Amino acid sequence: MQKIARASWLAWIVIVGALAATFSLGFYLGGEQLPAEDKITNVVGKNVGQPEAVDFSPFWQAWNVLNEKYVADNGNSSTTKKVTDQDRVWGAIAGMTSSLGDPYTNFLPPEQKKKFDEEISGNFSGVGMEIGIKDKILTVIAPLPNSPAKRVGVLAGDKILKIGNTLTNNLSADEAVNLIRGPEGTTVALTLSREGKDGPFDITIKREVITIPTIDTKELPDGIYVIRLYNFSAVSPNLFREALRKFIESKKDKLIIDLRGNPGGFLDAAVDMASWFLPAGKSVVVEKHGGKVEDKVYRSSGYDVFNDDLKMVILVDRGSASASEILAGALSEYGKATLVGEKTFGKGSVQELIPISGNSSIKVTIAKWYTPKGHSISLSGLKPDVEVVMTADDIKAGKDP
């Protein structure tokens, strides 16, 4: 299983939640009209997976009160959604995960899980930006290159205050993605705030089918070669190796790895890329599980093809997250590269994802990432050695400082 180091709602792999499984397994049993608790018990057995010290009676009391007392205000709208018993089970699991206060631990009911699968496959329609929760605020991690969001001027670090008429202060990243995405050709209105800009402002973005690029290369004067990496996908290691081969053939001695706006991807890809610059066995990143299981150290494979004559800079900004921070942090701390740009996003937690029941899934934060010198990526991100800020005016003028 490959671990995904990504900052947005995609950044997930696999874990099981016994409590969630208890609530969601086989909620409907052959059409029998049984109490909800009996329907679950008939499928999973009495108290299976239930912690002995937890009193579940308040849950069932609340369930029965809602059954007996609640009157829906359905009005005359033909679009009003009928809430089923199964919907309430999904809501209970979602409430349980949100009670942890971790923006990266979420429940995906069937509809959200379907959208997740579509995005993982790379075929989806939207505005083309990665989003996440930063300091409890819905934040743009990075607009994708040549995306609708990029073209209308969305910047990494923009705060999303409203999606249409919906305030985002109580939305998870998953819920926000569901509101922002939609059919190709339709539009979505966003209310944003931006550091250095007076007050919130509104933009409207037309949705398109999004194609996610992986890597670009170019040669600059003065012996400089640039590798621009947009994500850490399954194919990134091979493309990165080919880019390094071209760099060597160019006879240039200065390398820029541009990770600005790169939200991450596969952890193994970041470790493999670091291995081109580090001796075998050197720590690339440490995965700490808070004492629940043994910490895991991901180490360089030791390709180590460059000598000390290589002059390397890694460009980072507020949109550089997760796997980007892993690669940049390791190469910086071993003195292989100078970090230039802005402070990174700070997404150093590990999520795992597993199917629960009825095409639903749950993702859970199970570890934190630390750099080889023990710096927590989650706490503060990475601070560049040389700070260079790109402003909205720079972008408008087509200038890259």
β-pairing verdict for 106-108 and 361-370: antiparallel
* Cβ proximity of 132 and 106 under 8 Å: no
* Cβ proximity of 331 and 275 under 8 Å: no
Catalytic-residue membership of 352: no
Tell me the CA distances in angstroms from 399 to 89, 177, 216, one per residue in order. 52, 31, 18
Convert 109-146 to b/e letters by CB count within 10 Å (16 or more is b).
beebbebbeebeeeebbbbbbbbbbbeeebbbbbbbee
β-pairing verdict for 124-126 and 187-193: unpaired
Amino acid identity for residue 195 in this structure: E
Choose the catalytic residue: 322, 349, 357, 360.
322
Catalytic-residue membership of 322: yes
Choose the catalytic residue: 125, 250, 254, 333.
333
Choose the catalytic residue: 347, 357, 361, 368.
347
Tell me the CA distances in angstroms from 72 to 33, 91, 245, one per residue in order. 21, 16, 65
Tokens 């969001």 map to which residue?
Answer: 149
Tell me the CA distances in angstroms from 24 to 40, 51, 89, 94, 342, one per residue in order. 8, 16, 7, 11, 44
Kindly tell me the burial class for residue 106, based on how many C-beta atoms sit within 10 Å of its own C-beta (0-12, 13-18, 19 or more).
buried
Catalytic-residue membership of 32: no
Helix (H, G, I), strand (E, B) or coil at 160: strand
* Cβ proximity of 179 and 163 under 8 Å: yes
* Cβ proximity of 386 and 333 under 8 Å: no
**What is the set of active-site residues?**
322, 333, 347
